[in-house]
Amino acid sequence: MKELATQDRRTPAGNVAKIRSEPIKEEVRTQPTESPHDLRLQIRELTQSNLDLRERLNHQARELEELKEEMARLRRESDGSKPRKPASRKPSSP
């Protein structure tokens, strides 16, 4: 799979669709499978990456909430400091 991704990166953008539409070559199918040890290592790495990404997402969600609260506070302060205009206007006579 890494080989296909690498091949896509090296191929000009116009040829990517052509490569993806071609059938998988027999030599790709006959590659030896990864060892159980390699697969377990890959699972551990992916699990750790997933945990790291979840932690980042949670941190960003907390930061977003803090920024929303600060924006609401600043709006309230700004609304309180603005001079109020009279709500009713005198009708203009023609």
What is the DSSP track for 14-33?
A: HHHHHHHHSPPPHHHHTSPP
pLDDT 10s digits, 20-73:
556 556 555 555 678 999 999 999 999 999 999 999 999 999 999 999 999 999
Band (pLDDT 50/70/90 cuts) for residue 80 is confident
pLDDT given at position 1: 47
pLDDT given at position 9: 47
| Angle between helices 13-21 and 2-10 in degrees, nearest 10 | 140
pLDDT given at position 63: 98
Question: What is this structure's pTM?
Answer: 0.47
